[in-house]
Amino acid sequence: MAAARVEFAQHGFAGTTLRSIAARAGVDPALIHHYFGTKMGLFQAVLALGVDPTRQALPAMLDGPREEAGQRIVRTFLTMYEDPQFREPVLAVMRTAMTSREVAALAASFLQDTMLRGLVTLAVGPDPARQVALAMTHLMGTVLGRHVLGLAALQGEVDALVDELAPVVQRYLDGAHRDVTGPVGS
């Protein structure tokens, strides 16, 4: 576990192999495989995450027309966070990330190498990686406001939030977020 933490922190999730962790720990890779299964299993153990936050979410977000990706991403993301069994361990990692640069780097590399990289094909425009990051951190902020701060203004049905956020996320994916529509009323 200590060896894994160092390797993941130094090389990120994608840049780390079970082999390099095994080498650092002075054990056979098969031993790691035996106890933790996959690299993801070991990573979850290192972050004390009881769930793989992307295994089901990513296909649900990717599978369908690109023009409706905003809708799928927002619904899938917000629905996951309605479940305390999912939400609490993820928020625990976020909390630790706020204290520890090492955990922050791990969480960032995980987010980068799974969710953000996985969704980047849905974005068109000048900087797809940035567009996806803007969209997903927007949704993280929504979760923070709804579930951590419990802001009254962000309670109510998930469906309502999906209706409000999906067009915004879609606009980020389309690279159309800078387009200024005329102000409504004033």
Interface with its own copies (CB under 8 A): 66-67, 91-92, 94-95, 97-99, 104-105, 107-108, 111-112, 116, 124-125, 127, 129-130, 132-134, 136-142, 144-146, 148-154, 163-165, 167-168, 170-172, 174-181, 183-186
Nearest CB to its own copies, comparing residues 26 and 180:
180
Nearest CB to its own copies, comparing residues 51 and 104:
104
Residue 66 tokens read as 């690109």
CB of 152 to its own copies, least distance (A): 7
Query: Crossing angle for the helix pair 69-82 and 158-174, nearest 10 degrees?
Result: 140
CB of 58 to its own copies, least distance (A): 17
Tell me whether residue 172 is exposed, middle or buried, using C-beta atoms within 10 angstroms of its C-beta: 0 to 12, 13 to 18, 19 or more.
buried
Amino acid identity for residue 128 in this structure? P
CB of 5 to its own copies, least distance (A): 17
121 Cβ contact list (under 8 Å, min separation 6): 62, 128
